[in-house]
């Protein structure tokens, strides 16, 4: 592990969109969004998507009043954008709202009120990540101030570069662990009875290449604030990132994910999907290229 520092300027976030279903986890997400918006002097918009089976919800005005009360409670003096209630599919309307408002970041709770159903058909958050075209911050823990410890998993792709840049913007004063997991099969080689010096000899070219790639990758990043610690780790990325997040006491894990050219939706990579479901802290998922998903 090595540390690097730089003092370049980081552009602040300007506009956040947080969606709520008035569940406890959505309220936790709103609290984190308020903290980020306050620190960045950003505008915060609040969206509630009502069920299609409740046609009178807009006329009654009760949901809009709930939104106003939440904003009043958590952001009494902040910059408030749109506060809207719409009817439709939650993930579709969240994506639409984020596009319409050119949000820098969508903030969501890990799951909503219908948790058991969500486990079967996929959460709203996961659908927004898969099909939306904005970075998504999925909040799993109550906030206690700005993020202090951030882990960013990188594979040196443009998507992981974008995820790191966004994480640095989101939490400019945090301590960063930038992790690259290579697959050298060290554990398997040792279990096979190969002596440790021979294992080291076999892995050395892969480790040296990973170091060179990491150094080149970080040289392309402008950042300010705390130090960046480089972590090179052997194993399967899905499992090791989850383990490292716990070991390093990360409050936020950031990963990049990719789409596939020609498909009308985005597929999460195996690493991003595993992190989304298994890591217990907050998760930032971003990709460099735009989604092709067409809203109905």
42-51, 106-115, 247-256 — which one is most confidently predicted on average? Answer: 247-256
- Cβ-based neighbours of 164, under 8 Å, separated by 6 or more: 152, 154, 178, 221, 254
Secondary structure of residue 245 in the 3-state scheme: helix
3-state helix, strand, coil in the chain (%, to 5): 40, 20, 35
Q: Quick one: pLDDT at residue 290?
A: 65
Q: Quick one: pLDDT at residue 224?
A: 62
What CATH fold (topology level) applies to the domain 144-286? Rossmann fold (3.40.50)
Is the pLDDT confidence value at 76 over 90? Answer: no
Looking at every residue in the chain, the average pLDDT score rounds to 82
Q: How confident is the model at residue 6 (pLDDT cuts 50, 70, 90)?
A: very low
Distances in whole angstroms, Cα of residue 266 to Cα of each of 88, 280, 288, 291, 292: 21, 23, 12, 6, 8
Cα–Cα distance for residue pair 125/127, rounded to 1 Å? 5
With the C-alpha atoms ordered 87, 277, 288, 266, is the resulting torsion angle positive or negative?
negative
- Given 3.40.50.620, 1.10.10.10, 3.40.50.970, 3.30.360.10, which CATH number is that of 15-139? 3.40.50.620
**Contacts by 187-196 with C-beta closer than 8 Å and gap 24+?**
187/234, 187/235
Cα–Cα distance for residue pair 12/242, rounded to 1 Å? 28
Tens of pLDDT, residues 111-151: 655 544 444 346 888 888 888 889 999 999 999 999 999 99
Average pLDDT for 265-273: 63
Tens of pLDDT, residues 158-183: 989 999 999 999 999 899 999 999 88
Q: Give the number of other Cβ atoms within 10 Å of residue 101's Cβ.
A: 19
- Cβ pair 70, 33 in contact under 8 A: no
- Every domain of the chain with CATH number 3.40.50.620 lies at 15-139, 144-286
Task: Report H helices in the chain.
Answer: 24-40, 57-60, 62-74, 90-100, 115-121, 124-131, 158-170, 186-191, 196-219, 237-247, 270-278
């Amino acid at each position: 592990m090595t540390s690097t520092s730089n003092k370049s300027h980081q552009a602040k976030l300007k506009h956040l969109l947080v969606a709520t279903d008035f569940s406890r986890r959505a309220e936790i997400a709103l609290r984190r969004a308020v903290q980020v918006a306050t620190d960045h002097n950003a505008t915060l918009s609040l969206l509630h998507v009502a069920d299609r089976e409740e046609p009178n919800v807009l006329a009654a005005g009760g949901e809009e009043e709930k939104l106003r009360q939440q904003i009043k409670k958590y952001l009494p003096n902040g910059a408030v954008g749109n506060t809207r209630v719409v009817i439709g599919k939650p993930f579709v309307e969240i994506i639409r709202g984020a596009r319409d408002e050119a949000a820098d970041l969508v903030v969501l709770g890990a799951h909503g009120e219908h948790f058991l159903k969500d486990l079967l058909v996929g959460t709203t958050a996961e659908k927004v990540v898969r099909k939306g075209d904005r970075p998504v911050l999925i909040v799993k823990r109550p906030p206690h101030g700005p993020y202090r410890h951030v882990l960013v998993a990188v594979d040196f792709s443009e998507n992981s570069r974008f995820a790191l840049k966004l994480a640095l913007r989101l939490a400019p004063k945090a301590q960063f662990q930038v992790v690259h997991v290579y697959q050298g099969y060290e554990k398997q080689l040792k279990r096979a009875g190969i002596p440790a010096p021979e294992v080291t000899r076999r892995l050395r070219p892969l480790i040296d290449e990973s170091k060179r790639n990491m150094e080149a990758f970080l040289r392309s990043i402008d950042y300010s604030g705390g130090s960046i610690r480089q972590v090179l780790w052997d194993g399967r990325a899905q499992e090791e990132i989850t383990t490292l997040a716990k070991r390093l006491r990360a409050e936020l894990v950031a990963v990049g994910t990719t789409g596939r050219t020609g498909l009308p939706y985005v597929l999460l990579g195996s690493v991003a999907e595993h992190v989304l479901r298994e890591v217990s802290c907050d998760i930032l998922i971003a990709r460099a290229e735009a989604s092709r998903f067409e809203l109905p």
